[in-house]
Amino acid sequence: MFRKTVFFLLIAAVLFSAQLSFAEKLQLKFDERSWHLGYNAQDESQGLREYVLKGETVENWGELITAQAFFGLQKKVNADAYASSMLMTLKKACPDLVWKSISKASDDILMEWEIKDCPGQPDQYEVDRIISGSEAVYVIHYATKRLPVSDEMRSKWLDIMSKVKLLKS
């Protein structure tokens, strides 16, 4: 998968309400379609949750929502620095990357990007939200390989991703 190729150097983890021992958790929202957890892996330092639509898998998806948390990373970089590093990695893999910053603060970034005709990678569009919390840097991705993305779909996912919240327990 493209994300795994591009982010191979990154460590991932995610918090959800079932993990009461942590002080933070992500409040994710989805659209009205039937999403289900397709992959979940976690240990004390890393984890990952991937959600796919009914009938799809994480190995064969058209749309994918991924939630990650990088524990301890917030002590080294903020959301803005993380986004810059991520874009640099993406540009190395796909020099024709098209991206746009939607909203930007040092601790909260909303951005979108798209790649086409990148050797070894599927064409795709992503909306990413990066939040620097007190325990981790959190990264939430909505990705689709169904291109072109309509203005309506783009607006819908920018709105959904802008409403992701990092809650304190």
pTM, two decimals, is: 0.84
pLDDT at 169: 67
Q: Name the stretches of the chain with pLDDT < 70.
A: 1-23, 46, 169
Q: How many residues does the chain have?
A: 169
pLDDT at 91: 95
Domain ranges of the chain: 2-168
Let me know: does 48 contact 42? Beta carbons within 8 Å: yes
Cβ contacts of 125-128, under 8 Å, gap ≥ 24: 125/149, 125/154, 127/154, 127/157, 127/158, 127/161, 128/83, 128/86, 128/161
* CATH class name, domain 2-168: alpha beta
Q: What does the pLDDT look like over 41-67, one tens digit per residue?
A: 887 776 789 999 999 999 999 999 999
